[in-house]
Amino acid sequence: MNKTEIAAVLVDIGTLLELKGENPFKIRAYQSGARVVESLGEEELAQRIAAGTLEEVKGIGEALAQKITELAQTGRLGFYEKLKASIPAGLVEILSIPGIGPKKVKALHDKLGIDSIAKLQQACAAGRVAELEGFGEKTQEKIVEGIRNREAYGKRHLWLEAWQVAEPILLGLRVLKGVLHAEACGSLRRHMETVGDLDFLVATKTPEPIVAWFVQWPGVKEVTAQGETKASVRLGSGIQADLRLVPPEQFVFALHHFTGSKDHNIQMRHRALQRGLSMSEWGLVPAEGEGTAKQKAEERGRQTDIKTEEQLFAHLGLAFIPPELREGLGEIELAEAKKLPRLVEESDIRGVFHNHTTASDGHNTLEEMTAAAEALGFEFLGIADHSKSSFQARGLDEARLEEQVAAIKQLNAAKKFKTHVFSGTECDILPDGRLDFSAKTLAQLDYVVVSVHSSFKQSREEMTKRLIKAIEHPHVTMLGHLTGRLLLEREGYEVDVDKIVDAAIANGVIIELNASPWRLDMDWRHWRKAAEKGLLCAINPDAHSTAGLAHFRCGVGAARKGWLTRENILNTRPLRAVVDFFARK
Ligand code: DGT
Ligand code: CA
Ligand code: CA
Ligand code: ZN
């Protein structure tokens, strides 16, 4: 196990102990132990485990050191397994409802005997939860809403989670004997923000052993269908996966078909028909009744020349359409006119702006974050910790912000890292649209991100007014996570996106594409129109740890879905140009 996995187990243990009503000191020891493990370097952790010096680290006692060592060396922990087994699975499931922590779960269990989501739902319907001490009507309503969302969202998965499940399978397929091509199609390939199921496609002449390999993949929990050329499974994470195997000459047609989207496919099929062709996962063949026998034979001859998607699109008079654009939203018309944009690529990104450190609610220090940014090859890194009103996130007050500005200045002057660090803030937008810091305080910074973290329930009009007031503030550089949504968990607050976009353009303010896989906010569906109007984008991982910086890649995926080019995105500019951009504000 690596340190992130170990830390996750420790956090889990803390939660389970809390469910059992254990001693708070013991609980806290696991929670802080997790933070300590997360903050150690991967190498340092390995060395200390090997040398048996883990206990010398502040915050890690003897018992914790033993458990971390067992996890690191065996990937398992007897204590953890026993603890899990001692708690009804339903209680842990209830924990996944937003707004219910271990204390509440314990109270529900102790006082109402609730040990499953179904029982919780019944108790809410009968009004019994509201009557409990520490709950009330509001909490009960929130729980009901949480259960409803869970049902609605339960069948989908975040893109990144789906990718993390799919990637090792894909890599495994690609090195199997007899596999000529393998691809993960569907919404995953199109980079949708959430994914329903995985669609693997393989070109091969020998399907049987590949099906056998797939259904025996260690992550498979259940085989739901198995045939000669296809199989469906449910994986450990709950996600379903289909595998289809086709002969090599059919691969490109199946690849296009199973990439979708359905709307794109319908439009493509229509276009093919206009040219006397019938398009399907099997191939592109003359449509019934159309053309002479000679034409059909000629067409079949030409089919064998179609080996790549480029050639398939070209055969229908189209430029290649990147998978991200295949949503049936006008991409075919632009591909015909050869006017598709050159989409931004991961390699275009030279740095990111909105990130946190241990000064607020991040897990890594300024230096660690900078080192990680350097390792990613970034020219610049923006630090934007929370401001004082976000006290739950240990937001910085003026004095601590000033200290951070000085520390960043020093870090840059020391030239220890190749990455230049910008000092910024993620300044709260207060409920009335004023900012959490004065203009004088903001003036010391290189740039200012402003975000909403409170009073989510305001009306659409109020929220729109609130955001526009913040956008009009002369020191604001960019607006963070436009709607505050958490994918599959929480709807964003109501806001008039068009008005916000217009206000941002009018005030020379950037809107962030928050690249955190849980957010991807502003949504890709708004970006094409907004960028055409002249809005500038910043792709920001909103990283709360060194690992989180890599989430900028999810942002690039969303930006591509939003038709964005390099020119639309501040992160693609060289350091000097970014410095100039900030200086003009
Ligand atoms: P998902 O899994 O809900 O996130 O979305 P997709 O797009 O991966 O959809 P899925 O897994 O049902 O099917 C994969 C692709 O297969 C889909 O994007 C397009 C193609 N496809 C599936 N059903 C149909 C259909 O009824 N008509 C057409 N034209 N294409 C289909
Ligand atoms: Ca799918
Ligand atoms: Ca599917
Ligand atoms: Zn935020």
DSSP string, 267-322: HHHHHHHHTTEEE-SS-EEEPTT-S-HHHHHHHHHHHTT--SHHHHHHHTT-----
Q: Is the Cα dihedral 171, 176, 181, 182 positive or negative?
A: negative
**Is 215's pLDDT higher than 70?**
yes
145 burial (CB, 10 Å; 0-12 / 13-18 / 19+) is middle
Q: Quickly state the pLDDT bin for 292 (edges 50, 70, 90).
A: low
Domains and their CATH numbers in the chain: 3-153 (1.10.150.110), 155-244 (3.30.460.10), 247-340 (3.30.210.10), 346-584 (3.20.20.140)
Q: Whose CA is nearest to atom 31 of ligand 1?
A: 262
The strand pair at 449-451 and 426-428 is best described as parallel
Ligand 1 contacts CB of residue 232 (under 6 A):
no
**Is 237's pLDDT higher than 80?**
no
Ligand 1 atom with the smallest distance to the CA of 188 is: 8
The CA-CA-CA angle for residues 153, 155, 157, to 5°, reads 80
Contact 547, 355 (CB under 8 A): no
302-353 pLDDT, tens digit per residue, is: 566 899 999 999 999 999 999 999 999 999 999 999 999 999 999 999 999 9
Question: Given this model, what pLDDT does residue 355 score?
Answer: 98
Calpha distance 143→567 (Å, rounded): 44
Calpha distance 14→80 (Å, rounded): 10
Ligand 1 contacts CB of residue 253 (under 6 A):
no
367-423 pLDDT, tens digit per residue, is: 999 999 999 999 999 999 999 999 999 999 999 999 999 999 999 999 999 999 999
* Centroid of ligand 3 to alpha carbon of 255 (angstroms): 13
Question: Given this model, what pLDDT does residue 291 score?
Answer: 57
Q: Which of 510, 563, 574, 547 is nearest to 7 (CA)?
A: 547
Helices (H), 309-376: 309-315, 331-336, 366-375
Question: Given this model, what pLDDT does residue 585 score?
Answer: 79
Contact 493, 462 (CB under 8 A): no
Q: Which amino acid is at 507?
A: N
**Is 229's pLDDT higher than 70?**
yes
Q: Mean of the pLDDT values across residues 529-539? A: 98
Q: Whose CA is nearest to atom 8 of ligand 1?
A: 186
Calpha distance 73→79 (Å, rounded): 15
150-192 pLDDT, tens digit per residue, is: 776 667 999 999 999 999 999 999 999 999 999 999 999 999 9
449-488 pLDDT, tens digit per residue, is: 999 999 999 999 999 999 999 999 999 999 999 999 999 8
**Is 296's pLDDT higher than 70?**
no
**Is 560's pLDDT higher than 60?**
yes
46-90 pLDDT, tens digit per residue, is: 999 999 999 999 989 999 999 999 999 998 899 999 998 898 888
